[in-house]
Structure 1
Amino acid sequence: MMIPELPAYLTKLGGQEYIGLIIALFTFTAGVSRPFSGKITDTVGRVPVMAFGSLVCFICGFLYPYLLTVGGFLTLRLIHGFSTGTKPTATSAYVADVVPANRRGEAMGMLGLFTAMGMSLGPAIGSWLATDFSMNVMFWTSSAFALLSIGILLQMPETLVNTQPFRFSLLRLKKDEIFDKNALPPFIVLLLQSFSSGVILTVISAVSASLGVTNKGLFFTVYTVASLVVRVVFSKTSDRYGRLPVLFISTAVLAVSMVLLILTDSPAWFWTSAIVYGMSWGMNSPTVTAWTADLSDEKTRGRAMATMYIALEAGIGLGALGAGWLLNNVVGEAGIDASFAVSGVLALVAVGYLGWLWQKGRRVASHQTNEADDMALLDGEP
């Protein structure tokens, strides 16, 4: 709800040069907290971690109107990141617990469907509240929604078997508890993909203003609606054809969306870019999550999900910092175009990596099939 309005809000507080930190600080805390949330998700339980994330959203949304200095605002953004550092990790592990492996892609697509509904409505409603009422009303409304989510979470059954009570010793991490090596391929892909998200979150409000689009949240609404439609129509695709082929195509579409944003010089191009961008993430997000679940060990699924989300936060944070630097150091629209160009190049690198993994997997499968045929012949089978 609040993201589209925060750059202008921080500028009014006198912190225009810190616009890149709006997202960067948030994602920094989220990324740092991921290993801890992964461990606690695998020990204390999925539901308590989800509830903690929503509680942070509730508290921070309530406090924004009272911290009216640049330092206070940025400190709150840093704390607010704990919400994203905890809840999605536990949510993804919870969903993976309750669905069969051969329907994970579909299930993650449905999870993403409801996420997309919130993301499509939130920015537009937030901008409307800020414009027609006040920023404070927008902040408090977001806080109220977080409180509602806590009420729902407290009614959900725990899916983790053999839960432990929380104790502070759980916050001491061993080296092998920080990063799940099984999730390395999704980590690399999502890191490269999510740079574009940091760029979008940082610069799209400026692009909206330059084109005369007064509601800065509408780009987010259009792209999340497009992603919602893709999730509904193609939710079973990665279960049927495999994670890598789907990610190869959807990441290529992500690169195309960045090119379209560079070419944008009218509202028509702007909305077209939003639709294409949404289409790419409509397939990327649930497929990467299902892929991570596939590669994870059931006992450390929370850690694997946390590793994946570290990549998401790192990519978004780097994208936000890069875009913020370019906005402050490159004159005019060239800085915005350069941000989109870097995002497009990184997406193409991800396409190349996915293509290599895909071909490697096909070669291994072909070799295993040939070995099975040879063994059948030796055993006298036709």
Structure 2
Amino acid sequence: MNKPKLWTKDFINISLSNFFLFLTFYILLVTLPIFALQEFDSNASQAGLMTTIFLLSAIVSRPLAGQWLERTSNRKVLVTALLIFAVSSLLYFFPTTVTGFLVIRLLHGIGFGMATTAVGAIVADLIPSSRRGEGMGYFVMSTNMAMVLGPFVGLTSIQQWGSETMFILSVIVAIGALITGLTVKLAKPEVPDQKVVLPAFSLKSLIEPSAVSIAIVGGFLAIVYSALLSFVSVYANEINLTEVSSLFFVVYAIILLMSRPFTGKWLDQYGPNVIVFPSIVLFAFGMFVLSQSGSATTFLVSAGMIGLGWGTLFPTFQTIAIQNAAPRKRGLATATFLSIYDIGIALGSFLVGLIAAKMDFSSLYLMCSFYVLIGAILYYFLQVRKPTSTKLKSQQALQVKEQ
């Protein structure tokens, strides 16, 4: 029996658009605080606002974009969002004050939040339902690759050639996101036999309930992931492994890339529980090994374990969020999942910073390893044991009717 095709031109292009979106994000994430400190002689808190304002605007805009996706075409939302994102990238050349940059970061975050929500909804429609776990795994690889390349490109450009070159590169990459997004061809949705009456706009309509439980689990574990993003290089300096700190996310991505052909297929064949519980244990053990690292070998081994553990969990959680929603709710489900996930990242960066002031990073990461295991309990009660059989049956019937 032939499998439905996954690697279509449209799937590749939407994955490339997502890659360019996140590449721009990571280029600016690591360089704008440096730029603010050097060019405007600002303090650390003002430099940190460059990231905070961006993430907050993205979090707020995602539910609105999800609601818009439910009421109009995916393409219209995608094009609008990518235009906002690309134009915002151009505007970085003009401000002369920190306040001006913060306004642009606000606008840029809106474009990013809308675009990533639209891209997530579109890719869910492009992937065959029987290969959704596999497809979402490969799609999320585009984000992982950007996470590895973005900081390298950003730091290299600002250190070697200056901030102007760095901004030029971010504009080129943002335009790449726009161009590849525009090339995606979306099938026109079939007109249902009966007109679907959408609920009136309200705060409640900004959230897709079926995605909330798995999003909470993702946000809970994202707090630990934020501890890696923000402080793993600082920890490497603390344990005299500065020379290999830049390789942490390279190893993370390589192991993730090697595992992707298997983990996605297993999700489709055996269901999420077979994937989630071992991945949580592996994530926790990776954090434990990281906390005990005294050599480059153990440091990089922990990167591989975390890459296989957390790198498998994130696309699995996003796939669950999409599968639990009716087709016309996929955009809203994507927005709900990513918004709660981003809240976990933002909250984690704040909390971990406070805790790190009270203890060394080895103790912090050891504590994180036990915290991750609590995530398995949370997943069990919120996702495995919740009474969803009747609800899922009704949703599946609705999906058949709408498709």
TM-score in terms of structure 1 length: 0.80
1:79 deviates by 3.1
Count of matched residue positions in the alignment of Structure 1 and Structure 2: 355
Q: Which residue of 2 aligns with 1:46?
A: 74
Q: Distance in 1 between matches of 2:217 and 2:268?
A: 19
**Match status 1:310 vs 2:339:** yes
Q: Distance in 2 between matches of 1:272 and 1:68?
A: 45
**Distance of aligned partners of 1:178 and 1:344 in 2 relative to their CA distance in 1, 3 Å threshold:** farther
1:190 deviates by 0.8
Q: Which residue of 1 aligns with 2:166?
A: 138
- Secondary structure of the equivalent of 2:242? coil
Q: Which moved more, 1:341-350 or 1:354-363?
A: 354-363
**Distance of aligned partners of 1:358 and 1:324 in 2 relative to their CA distance in 1, 3 Å threshold:** closer
- Secondary structure of the equivalent of 1:92? helix
Q: Which residue of 1 aligns with 2:138?
A: 110
**Match status 1:284 vs 2:313:** yes
Q: Which residue of 2 aligns with 1:151?
A: 179
Amino acid at match of 1:143: V
Q: Say which of 284, 290, 293 aligns to 1:255.
A: 284
1:178 deviates by 1.5
**Distance of aligned partners of 1:62 and 1:214 in 2 relative to their CA distance in 1, 3 Å threshold:** farther
**Match status 1:237 vs 2:262:** no
1:314 deviates by 0.5
Q: Say which of 92, 111, 114 aligns to 1:86.
A: 114
Amino acid at match of 2:78: M
Q: How does 1:114-193 map to 2 (within 5 A)?
A: 114-159=142-187, 161=189, 173-193=201-221
Q: Distance in 1 between matches of 2:77 and 2:125?
A: 15
Q: Which residue of 2 aligns with 1:206?
A: 234
Q: Distance in 2 between matches of 1:84 and 1:56?
A: 8
Amino acid at match of 1:50: L
1:59 deviates by 3.3
Q: Which residue of 1 aligns with 2:394?
A: none
| Stretches of structure 2 lacking an aligned partner (at least 5 in a row) | 1-26, 192-197, 391-403
Amino acid at match of 1:189: V
1:41 deviates by 1.6
Asked whether the equivalents of residues 38 and 89 of structure 1 are also in contact (C-alpha less than 8 Å), the reply is yes
Asked whether the equivalents of residues 20 and 202 of structure 1 are also in contact (C-alpha less than 8 Å), the reply is no
Q: Which residue of 2 aligns with 1:34?
A: 62
| Stretches of structure 1 lacking an aligned partner (at least 5 in a row) | 164-169, 366-382
Q: Distance in 2 between matches of 1:310 and 1:304?
A: 10
- Secondary structure of the equivalent of 2:185? coil
1:318 deviates by 0.4
Q: Distance in 2 between matches of 1:84 and 1:336?
A: 31
1:218 deviates by 4.2
- Secondary structure of the equivalent of 1:158? coil
Amino acid at match of 2:262: V
Asked whether the equivalents of residues 214 and 379 of structure 2 are also in contact (C-alpha less than 8 Å), the reply is no
Q: Distance in 1 between matches of 2:385 and 2:169?
A: 49
Q: Distance in 1 between matches of 2:369 and 2:179?
A: 41
Asked whether the equivalents of residues 19 and 202 of structure 1 are also in contact (C-alpha less than 8 Å), the reply is no
- Secondary structure of the equivalent of 1:236? helix
Q: Which moved more, 1:1-10 or 1:247-256?
A: 1-10
Between the aligned residues of both structures, percent identity stands at 26
**Distance of aligned partners of 1:31 and 1:83 in 2 relative to their CA distance in 1, 3 Å threshold:** same
Q: Say which of 343, 360, 375 aligns to 2:385.
A: 360
Q: Which moved more, 1:88-97 or 1:69-78?
A: 69-78
Q: Distance in 2 between matches of 1:123 and 1:185?
A: 32
1:260 deviates by 3.0
Q: Distance in 1 between matches of 2:244 and 2:84?
A: 27
TM-score in terms of structure 2 length: 0.77
Q: Distance in 2 between matches of 1:342 and 1:53?
A: 39
- Secondary structure of the equivalent of 2:189? coil
Asked whether the equivalents of residues 70 and 332 of structure 2 are also in contact (C-alpha less than 8 Å), the reply is yes
Asked whether the equivalents of residues 195 and 343 of structure 1 are also in contact (C-alpha less than 8 Å), the reply is no
**Match status 1:347 vs 2:372:** yes
Superposed CA RMSD in Å reads 3.2
Amino acid at match of 1:147: I
Amino acid at match of 1:141: L
Q: Distance in 2 between matches of 1:261 and 1:322?
A: 19
Larger relative CO (CA 8 A, sep 6+): 1 or 2?
1
**Distance of aligned partners of 1:216 and 1:123 in 2 relative to their CA distance in 1, 3 Å threshold:** farther
Q: Distance in 2 between matches of 1:192 and 1:324?
A: 17
1:341 deviates by 5.0
- Secondary structure of the equivalent of 2:63? helix
Q: Distance in 2 between matches of 1:117 and 1:221?
A: 9
Amino acid at match of 1:247: V
